[in-house]
Amino acid sequence: MASPSTDLHFVLLPLMAQGHMIPMVDIARILAQTGTTVTIITTPVNANRFNSVIDRAIEGQLNIKILEVQFPFVESGLPEGCESFDLIPSAAYIVNMFTAMKKLEEPMEKMIQVLYPPPTCIISDGGFPWSTNLAKRLNIPRLVFYGPGCFAFLCIHIVNNTNILNEIDSNSEYIEIPGLPDRIEITKPQASGWGKGNTKETKESFEQTQEAEKDAYGIVVNSFEELEPKYVEEFAKAKGKKVWCIGPVSLCNKSVQDIAERGNKGVKNEHDCMKWLDLQEPKSVVYVCLGSLSYATTEQAIELALGLELSGIPFIWFIRQTREEFEKWLSEERYEERIKGRGLMVRGWAPQILILSHQGIGGFITHCGWNSTLEGICAGIPMVTWPHFAEQFLNERFIVDVVKIGVKIGAEFPLMYKEKDKFEVVKKEDIMTAVEVLMNEQEEGEARRRRAREVGEMAKKAMEEGGSSYLNIKLMIQAISEEVAKNNNPIQDIV
Contact between residue 140 and residue 127 where contact means Cβ atoms under 8 Å apart: no
pLDDT of residue 371: 95
Residue 3 lies in a domain: no
**Whole-angstrom Cα distance, residue 267 to residue 285?**
19
pLDDT tens-digit map of 7-16: 899 999 999 9
Q: Where are the alpha helices (DSSP H) in 220-341?
A: 229-239, 256-260, 270-278, 298-311, 324-332, 335-338
Amino acid sitting at position 139: N
Q: 261 or 459, which is more confident? A: 459
- Any domain includes 494: no
Higher pLDDT, 97 or 291: 97
Instruction: Give just the sign of the alpha carbon dihedral 477, 480, 486, 488.
Output: negative
The mean-pLDDT minimum among 108-117, 130-139, 407-416, 463-472 falls in 407-416
On average, the pLDDT of the chain sits at 89
pLDDT of residue 210: 84
Let me know whether 448 and 468 are in one domain: no
pLDDT of residue 493: 43
308 and 439, same structural domain?
A: yes
Q: Are residues 236 and 288 in the same domain?
A: no
Evaluate whether 93 touches 457 at the Cβ level (below 8 Å).
Answer: no
Share of the chain above pLDDT 90, in %: 68
Nearest to 155 by CA among 201, 203, 128, 195: 195
Q: Closest by alpha carbon to 305, among 345, 340, 269?
A: 345
For residue 495, is it within any domain? no
In a domain, 246, yes or no: yes
Residues 73-93, mean pLDDT to the nearest whole number: 89
On whether the CB atoms of residues 238 and 227 are closer than 8 A, the answer is no
Helices 94-102, 200-214: axis angle to 10 degrees equals 30
Lowest mean pLDDT among 64-78, 364-378, 404-418: 404-418
- Least confidently predicted of 242-256, 327-341, 363-377, 432-446: 242-256
In-domain check, residue 258: no
446: in domain: yes
Does 322 lie in the same domain as 413? yes
pLDDT tens digits, residue range 287-333?
A: 999 986 566 788 999 999 999 999 999 999 998 767 789 999 999 99
Query: What's the rounded Cα separation, in Å, for the pair 461 and 484?
Result: 31
Asked if residue 231 and residue 127 are part of one domain, the reply reads yes
Residue 378, domain extent = 263-458
In a domain, residue 1? The reply is no
Query: pLDDT-derived band of residue 495, with 50, 70 and 90 as boundaries?
Result: very low
Do 247 and 275 reside in the same domain of the chain? Answer: no
- Tell me the C-alpha distance between 325 and 82, whole Å: 25
How many separate helices (H) and strands (E) can be counted in the chain? 21, 15
The answer on 443 and 473 residing in a single domain is no
226 and 287 together in one domain: no
**Do 475 and 380 fall within a single domain?**
no
Mean pLDDT confidence for 165-186 = 90
Whether residue 358 sits in one domain with residue 244: no
Do residue 330 and residue 346 come from a single domain?
yes
Percent of the residues in the chain that have a pLDDT greater than 70, as a whole number: 90
Instruction: Provide φ and ψ at 292, rounded to 5°.
Output: -85, -15
- pLDDT on residue 130: 95
For residue 60, pLDDT beyond 60: yes
Residues 276-288 have a mean pLDDT of 96
Count how many residues are written for the chain.
Answer: 495
CATH number at residue 392: 3.40.50.2000
Does residue 372 form part of some domain? Answer: yes
pLDDT (tens digit, 9 = 90+) per residue, 194-211? 766 566 766 777 788 888
pLDDT average, residue stretch 472-493:
81
Question: In terms of domains, do 388 and 469 share one?
Answer: no
Number of domains in the chain: 2
Mean pLDDT of 428-443: 96
